[in-house]
Amino acid sequence: MRIRLIRARTKLNDALHALAEDPDNNTLKHRVRRAEAAVAEHAALYDSTPVGQNELREAIAHENNDTARNLLNQRMAPQKRCAHNRYTRCTMVSRTQLQRTITMSNEPMLTQEQRESFWRLHGWRPNLPDSKRREIEQYWTDPEIVEAEALGF
């Protein structure tokens, strides 16, 4: 998800640079608006991930500016409201994805190959020190992996 957010921000920066060179071009203005919407969407999705939530908590803890801290708390607020139901954390999930997630929770757990494939996306390697490897394995349990994949992370 972080990679998608980075790509969306890169596209926005490219669109802004192109618009700066030709400020009267309506196509470029439209491109900037689409890119801004994509960044907002990906940022909201990233904020709803466990990693995004941890980063928000850390940023809030280290932020000295009250205005900036309030903005970070606002980004965290939608996640707190939906904490009672993990399937509503992200409002951009389609009904089909939600049904697939719920159905999958009744299926057998993941194979070790599926787990390792997902964990590798988050820094897991067989040769990592035991403590770091276990940390990733315990953080990303089977239900968390299934949910993350259903949400497109």
Radius of gyration of the chain (CA): 19
- Output the pLDDT for position 121: 87
- Output the pLDDT for position 77: 63
What distance in Å separates the CA atoms of residue 145 and residue 153, rounded to the nearest whole number? 9
- Output the pLDDT for position 105: 47
- Output the pLDDT for position 91: 44
125 to each of 3, 111, 116, how far by Cα in Å? 19, 17, 8
Mean pLDDT, contiguous 10-residue spans, the chain (153 residues): 83 90 89 87 82 84 82 69 44 46 53 88 88 87 79 67
7 to each of 1, 40, 65, 91, how far by Cα in Å? 10, 12, 29, 21
- Output the pLDDT for position 50: 83
- Output the pLDDT for position 21: 92
